[in-house]
Amino acid sequence: MNLVLDLGNSRCKWALARPPGMVEVRKTQEQVFRNDDLAPGGAFAYGVNFMHTLDAAFGGLARPKRVAAVSVASAAHTETLAHWVQSHWGLDVQRIVACAAQLGVTNSYKDPTRLGADRWAALIAARARHTDAVCVVDCGTALTVDALDSNGVFRGGVILPGLALMRDALLRRTQGVRDAQGDTSSVLAQTTADGVVAGTLFGLAGAIDRILDEQAAMLGVAPQVLITGGDAPPVLALLRHAHHHVPDLVLEGVAHIVHAGSPT
């Protein structure tokens, strides 16, 4: 099995990926493969001492065949992961980065290498799932909405603050807001806390719908919509656009890349 990781701004997600052609193993209740590729993994915050966090997360894990990761985390966290993997398993971490073209996806960024590795991996996974146009919504610390046309060309996307950043901005930059724990059910909020959490949630969902409208108009077709990221669950019910929730989309992309080898 390969260990695939997504080092985000606030936490690390991981899964075990089965190489193509691997003989089917008996699936137990604890070992159910998603899309016949990923075995359930987990997610964890980096903690005060990331090395100790890695000990707790992976200390009992059998040595994988390969380890691959996308990272938008700090250089220190990325280097700590590489050191831990080398010292425990004698493996180098394959660092996934965006490139000009790979696995049917063409990168139209002005500088392809500047596209976030997590966004690139999600686009790779989206193309593997759909050969028509698709938009990828990633609800993480930052929210990204990226458009891929039916030819596999990444046409571009947008980045805006996610839920936590929106709420944190209100807490830090205003005098009257001191609590962001409230009821998200109504935009007729009657407390400040409820107003903050409902306003940011409905505002984010509305922004996603508007961006998807604009991207569809520019693509000239109604795309498939895939939504992923830790903050996706509270947003899902508020979206007007039909969508598919794929929690491990970035990890799927990492798995596809590591299985395929070098970029083409």
Q: Can you tell me the distance from the alpha carbon of 89 to that of 174, in angstroms, rounded to the nearest whole number?
A: 49
**Burial readout 144-172 (b: 16 or more C-beta within 10 A, e: otherwise):** bbbbbbeebebbebeeebbbbebbeebee
Q: CA torsion sign, 225 to 230 to 235 to 236?
A: positive
Helix (H) or strand (E) holding 125: helix 117-129
SS3 of residue 29 by DSSP: coil
Annotated catalytic residue, options 118, 138, 149, 231: 118
Nearest to 7 by CA among 91, 59, 74, 94: 74
Contacts of 150 (CB under 8 A, 6+ apart): 131, 132, 133, 221
Active site residue 118: yes
DSSP summary character for residue 113: G
Helix (H, G, I), strand (E, B) or coil at 104: coil
Catalytic residues: 118
